[in-house]
């Protein structure tokens, strides 16, 4: 399997892998013509073993019957992140630390980042009604266009095309130039007007590389407001988290969270199951609360969150997991509070919070910055906010805001004395 992904292996070894790549179809320039087939390949043993998922068109019809104004977009978004999750699981299981490139900001990016973004872009273009397409996404093709990146580009092309063939929904194949073009679909700047999809192709890259939690996070902005969000969390238990690492003890793994404005939030199996309504916990005493924070101390100031928890009287240790999986877990009541306080100088990107925030708010929670302001996703690719992001239920928010502001004030005073 590692040879099939083949990020660091010569082409000769790719050909001799245990499961060879399928015979390539005629490759088409990007974007492909709109000819989805919506059928599974009976010859694919992997697809035969999975529950059958209804087609995006059928899901859209069902959702429209329920009064969801973004029904077609919701079904397409679910399909998009599910397809991307399939590719990501293959890469995570096969190579973990192989094929990592360093971006300018020193955070790692893998072949799965690129492949996930391509597949989401493809699915949205194929399944959402025609019209202007705008995608605000994390990756671009700059690194892949540089000299020496030819082998990785070929590997991404092969992996994406193999995933499409195995899934069987689309009768298309990418050229290398089509791959680069598809990645650059994500260069939109967003903004307050029109509709913009917002994507983090792998949120929680370090967790992905460790074999831990990550998410494919996709949201839709309409006139500057988040109106839809989906989170594919391949390693998150379908039922409640039952240990401090966010892992499962024999439970079914693979959760798909979704929310549409005014319609509530749901969770279902990433591999197909009836969606279930979810809601944040109803705890009103912070002593009984638990809180989520980033696994990596480089991503959030653990000393500050510890001070906040102490002021609240929280007794439970923090639950540290990667990615927007924290938002999903909070939305279904696995914990009561989410705290994120990046180090000074870091600017939050909209794709790091757009999908997760609407899942929490539609589950009855509140998501604000450290001053209690709503998050504003209409300003482009970055979030302009006060200090950090907090999320909890309506009962705990007043006391949480007070503790946050007191802890920040004390930290700032201590810093000024140094």
**Are the CB atoms for 341 and 304 separated by under 8 Å?**
yes
User: Cα(390)–Cα(392) distance, rounded to whole angstroms?
Assistant: 7
**Angle at CA of residue 303, ends 297 and 307, nearest 5°:** 145
Q: Buried b / exposed e across 132-168, counting CB within 10 Å, b at 16+?
A: eebbbbbbbbebbeeeeeebbbebbbbbbbbbbbbbb
Is 352 within any annotated ligand binding site?
A: yes
Cβ atoms within 10 A of the Cβ of 253, count? 17
Sequence-separated (6 or more) residues with CB below 8 Å from residue 253? 234, 235, 236, 237, 238
Is position 251 annotated as part of the catalytic site? no
113, 127, 334, 369: the active-site residue? 113
Q: Is 361 a catalytic residue?
A: no
203 is in an annotated binding site: yes
Strand order in the sheet with 225-237: 135-137, 195-203, 215-222, 225-237, 253-260, 265-269, 276-278
- The single residue of 110, 157, 163, 205 carrying the catalytic annotation is 205
Known binder of ligand: residue 95?
no
184 is annotated as contributing to ligand binding: no
On whether 202 is known to bind a ligand per the annotation, the reply is yes
Which residues fall in the annotated binding site? 138, 200, 202-203, 352
Which residues fall in the annotated binding site for Mg(2+)? 138, 200, 202-203, 352
Q: Annotated active-site positions, please?
A: 113, 205
């Amino acid at each position: 399997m590692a040879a099939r992904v083949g990020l660091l292996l010569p082409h000769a070894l790719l050909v001799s892998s245990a499961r060879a790549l399928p015979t390539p179809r005629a490759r088409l320039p990007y974007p492909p013509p709109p000819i989805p087939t919506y059928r599974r390949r009976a010859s694919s043993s992997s697809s035969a073993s999975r529950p059958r998922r209804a087609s995006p068109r059928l899901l859209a019809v069902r959702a429209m019957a329920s009064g969801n104004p973004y029904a077609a977009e919701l079904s397409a978004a679910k399909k998009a992140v599910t397809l991307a999750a399939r590719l990501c699981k293959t890469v995570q299981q096969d190579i973990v630390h192989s094929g990592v490139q360093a971006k300018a900001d020193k955070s790692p990016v893998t072949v799965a980042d690129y492949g996930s973004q391509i597949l989401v872009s493809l699915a949205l273009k194929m399944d959402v009604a025609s019209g202007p397409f705008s995608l605000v996404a994390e990756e671009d093709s700059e690194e892949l266009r540089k000299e020496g990146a030819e082998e990785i580009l070929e590997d991404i092309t092969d992996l994406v095309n193999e995933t499409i063939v195995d899934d069987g929904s689309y009768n298309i194949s990418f050229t290398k130039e089509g791959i680069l073009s598809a990645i650059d679909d994500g260069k939109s700047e967003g903004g307050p007007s029109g509709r913009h999809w917002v994507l983090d192709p792998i949120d929680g890259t370090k967790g992905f590389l460790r074999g831990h939690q990550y998410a494919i996070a996709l949201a839709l902005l309409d006139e500057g407001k988040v109106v839809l969000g989906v989170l594919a969390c391949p390693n998150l238990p379908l039922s409640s988290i039952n240990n401090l690492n966010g892992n499962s003890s024999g439970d079914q793994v693979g959760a798909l969270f979704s929310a549409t404005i005014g319609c509530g939030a749901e969770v279902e199996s990433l591999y197909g199951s009836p969606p279930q309504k979810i809601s944040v916990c109803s705890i009103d005493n912070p002593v009984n609360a638990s809180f989520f924070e980033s696994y990596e101390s480089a991503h959030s100031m653990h000393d500050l969150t510890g001070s906040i928890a102490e002021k609240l009287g929280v007794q439970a240790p923090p639950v540290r997991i990667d990615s927007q999986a924290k938002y999903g877990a909070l939305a279904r009541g696995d914990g009561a509070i989410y705290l994120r306080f990046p180090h000074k100088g870091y600017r939050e990107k909209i794709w790091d919070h757009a999908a997760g925030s609407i899942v929490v708010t539609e589950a009855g929670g509140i998501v604000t910055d450290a001053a209690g302001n709503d998050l504003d996703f209409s300003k482009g690719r970055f979030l302009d906010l006060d200090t950090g992001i907090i999320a909890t239920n309506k009962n705990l928010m007043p006391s949480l805001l007070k503790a946050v502001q007191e802890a920040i004030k004390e930290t700032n005073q201590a810093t000024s004395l140094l």
